[in-house]
Amino acid sequence: MKFDLDVNGRTRSVEAEEDAPLLWVLREDLGLTGTKFGCGLGQCGACTVHLDGNAIRSCITPVSSVGVGRIETIEQMTADAVGKHVQRAWLQLGVVQCGYCQSGQIMSATALLRENKAPQDAEIDAAMSGNICRCGTYQRIRAAIHAAAE
């Protein structure tokens, strides 16, 4: 089937199976490889993108369910007011270790900070609980979210 998707502010037409995960459409058809595949089961958060501003797991989101929703990926965050602050804080605090999960972490952090400009630790932990980091950078992620909120 043909889908016209709103991705990072542009309409992108793709041919895909109805049940194709959005993750694979983004990576394979649109070349947006900043979004990562981790578990494929909606459990690790590596594939997090925004749909209408909300953090979603693209590995378990069929492309046919997106409709006219506005999709944003990590590639768009350099042009996003909040995303820019988040990425700057990530760099300043040296959050990244291996880096694999970090685009998903940044997408979840950006969605949080758009909703809540000064989140408390418990709110950060709740918002970020679906993003797993096998290097254990959680303390730096929390610090960077506080820094981006300032």
* Residue numbers 12-41 binding ligand FES by CB under 6 A: 37-40
Q: Is 7 helix (H, G, I), strand (E, B) or coil?
A: strand
* Residue numbers 50-89 binding ligand FES by CB under 6 A: 57, 59
What 3 state SS string does 93-145 have? CCCCCCCCCHHHHHHHHHHHHHHCCCCCHHHHHHHHCCCCCCCCCHHHHHHHH
Residue 42 or 69 having the CB closest to ligand FES: 42
Q: What's the min distance (Å) between Cβ of 43 and ligand FES?
A: 5
Q: What's the min distance (Å) between Cβ of 44 and ligand FES?
A: 3
Where on the chain is the footprint of ligand FES (CB under 6 A)?
Answer: 37-40, 42-47, 57, 59
